[in-house]
Structure 1
Amino acid sequence: MVEKNSKNLPKLLVVEDDAGLQKQLKWAYEDFTVLLAGSREEALTLLRSEEPDVVTLDLGLPPDPDGTTEGFAALEQILQAKPGTKVIIASGHGARESALQAMAQGAYDFYSKPVDIDELGMIVKRAFHVHALERENIALQAKVGEDHRVLGQMVTAAPEMMQVAHTIERVANTNVSVMLLGASGTGKELLARGVHDQSERKAQPFVAINCAAIPENLLESELFGHEKGAFTGAVKTTEGKIEMANGGTLFLDEVGDIPLPLQVKLLRFLQERVVERIGGRKPIPVDTRIVCATHQNLEAMIGEGSFREDLYYRLAEIVIRIPALAQRPGDAPLLAKHFLAKYAAEYQPMVKGFAPDALAAIDSWQWPGNVRELENRVKRAVIMADGKLVTAADLDMAQGEEETSEFLNLKAAREVADRKAIRHALARTEGNISNAAKLLGVSRPTLYDLLKQYDLQN
Structure 2
Amino acid sequence: MRVLLLDADRGVVRTLEPELNGNTELHAAQTLSEGLRLVSQSQWDLILLDADFSGGGLELLGRLHGDSSTPVVLLAQNPSMDLAMEAIRQGAHDVLPKPVPRGRVREILLGIEEVRRLRPLPQDAGDESTIVGASQGMMAVYKSVARAAASDATVLVLGESGTGKEMVARVLHSRSRRARGPFVPINCAAIPENLLESELFGHEKGAFTGAIGRRIGRFERATGGTLFLDEIGDMSLALQSKILRALQEREIERVGGNSAVPIDVRIIAATNRDLHGAVAEGRFREDLFYRLAVVTLTLPPLRERGTDLDLLAGHFVAHYAREHARPVRAIAEEVFSALRAHPWPGNVRQIRNAMERAVVMSDGEVLLPQHLPPDILHPPSSRGAAEEPGEMPLVTLEEMEKRMIRRALRETQNNLTMAAERLGIHRNTLRRKIAEYAIEH
Query: Is TM > 0.5 for Structure 1 vs Structure 2?
Result: yes
Q: Is the 8 A contact 2:326 2:360 kept in 1?
A: no
Equivalent residue for 1:371, pick from 338, 343, 348: 348
In the TM superposition, residue 222 of structure 1 has moved relative to its aligned partner by 0.5
- Quick one: which amino acid aligns to residue 273 of structure 1? R
- Quick one: which amino acid aligns to residue 365 of structure 2? K
Equivalent residue for 1:237, pick from 211, 214, 218: 214
Give 1:345's aligned residue. 322
Give 1:19's aligned residue. none
Following the alignment from structure 2 to structure 1, what is the Cα–Cα distance between the partners of residues 324 and 298? 35
1:388 aligns with 2:365: yes
Offset from partner CA, 1:8-60 (integer Å, 9 cap, x none): xxxxxxxxxxxxxxxxxxxxxxxxxxxxxxxxxxxxxxxxxxxxxxxxxxxxx
- Quick one: which amino acid aligns to residue 323 of structure 2? E
Give 2:122's aligned residue. 141
Q: Is the 8 A contact 2:184 2:218 kept in 1?
A: yes
Query: Which of these two proteins has the greater Rg computed from alpha carbons?
Result: 1
Alignment of 1:253-332 (within 5 A): 253-332=230-309
TM-score by length of 1: 0.54
Give 1:435's aligned residue. none
Equivalent residue for 2:332, pick from 345, 355, 365: 355
Equivalent residue for 1:218, pick from 180, 184, 195: 195
- Quick one: which amino acid aligns to residue 255 of structure 1? I
Q: Is the 8 A contact 2:121 2:315 kept in 1?
A: no
- Quick one: which amino acid aligns to residue 251 of structure 1? F
Alignment of 1:44-83 (within 5 A): none
Q: How many pairs align?
A: 262
In the TM superposition, residue 179 of structure 1 has moved relative to its aligned partner by 0.6
Q: Is the 8 A contact 1:181 1:319 kept in 2?
A: yes
Secondary structure of the corresponding residue to residue 154 of structure 1: coil
Equivalent residue for 1:185, pick from 136, 140, 162: 162
Secondary structure of the corresponding residue to residue 208 of structure 1: strand
Offset from partner CA, 1:262-305 (integer Å, 9 cap, x none): 11111111110001100111211001111111000011111111
Following the alignment from structure 2 to structure 1, what is the Cα–Cα distance between the partners of residues 310 and 121? 14
In the TM superposition, residue 400 of structure 1 has moved relative to its aligned partner by 8.3
Offset from partner CA, 1:295-337 (integer Å, 9 cap, x none): 0001111111111000101111111111001111111111111
Offset from partner CA, 1:394-441 (integer Å, 9 cap, x none): 21323889xxxxxxxxxxxxxxxxxxxxxxxxxxxxxxxxxxxxxxxx
In the TM superposition, residue 383 of structure 1 has moved relative to its aligned partner by 1.1
- Quick one: which amino acid aligns to residue 398 of structure 1? L
In the TM superposition, residue 391 of structure 1 has moved relative to its aligned partner by 2.0
- Quick one: which amino acid aligns to residue 356 of structure 1? E
Following the alignment from structure 2 to structure 1, what is the Cα–Cα distance between the partners of residues 133 and 295? 22
Give 1:201's aligned residue. 178
- Quick one: which amino acid aligns to residue 381 of structure 1? A
Following the alignment from structure 2 to structure 1, what is the Cα–Cα distance between the partners of residues 333 and 160? 29
Offset from partner CA, 1:143-192 (integer Å, 9 cap, x none): 5x57xx9xx93111112101101111111121211111100000000000
Consecutive unaligned residues of structure 1, counting only runs of 5 or more, are 1-132, 402-458
In the TM superposition, residue 246 of structure 1 has moved relative to its aligned partner by 0.9
In the TM superposition, residue 385 of structure 1 has moved relative to its aligned partner by 1.9
Following the alignment from structure 1 to structure 2, what is the Cα–Cα distance between the partners of residues 235 and 400? 52
Q: Judging changes above 3 Å, is the alpha-carbon distance between structure 1 residues 374 and 139 closer, same or farther for their aligned structure 2 residues?
A: closer
Q: Is the 8 A contact 1:364 1:399 kept in 2?
A: no
Higher relative contact order (CA 8 A, sep 6+): 2
Offset from partner CA, 1:77-128 (integer Å, 9 cap, x none): xxxxxxxxxxxxxxxxxxxxxxxxxxxxxxxxxxxxxxxxxxxxxxxxxxxx
Q: Is the 8 A contact 2:120 2:329 kept in 1?
A: no
Q: Is the 8 A contact 1:224 1:239 kept in 2?
A: yes
Q: Is the 8 A contact 2:326 2:359 kept in 1?
A: no
Secondary structure of the corresponding residue to residue 238 of structure 1: coil
Q: Is the 8 A contact 1:186 1:371 kept in 2?
A: yes
TM-score by length of 2: 0.56
Q: Is the 8 A contact 1:361 1:398 kept in 2?
A: yes
1:176 aligns with 2:153: yes
Give 1:398's aligned residue. 377
RMSD (Å), alpha carbons: 2.4
Offset from partner CA, 1:335-375 (integer Å, 9 cap, x none): 11111111111224222232221121123322111000000
Q: Judging changes above 3 Å, is the alpha-carbon distance between structure 1 residues 169 and 372 closer, same or farther for their aligned structure 2 residues?
A: same
Give identity over the alignment, percent: 48
Give 1:153's aligned residue. 130
Consecutive unaligned residues of structure 2, counting only runs of 5 or more, are 1-113, 381-441
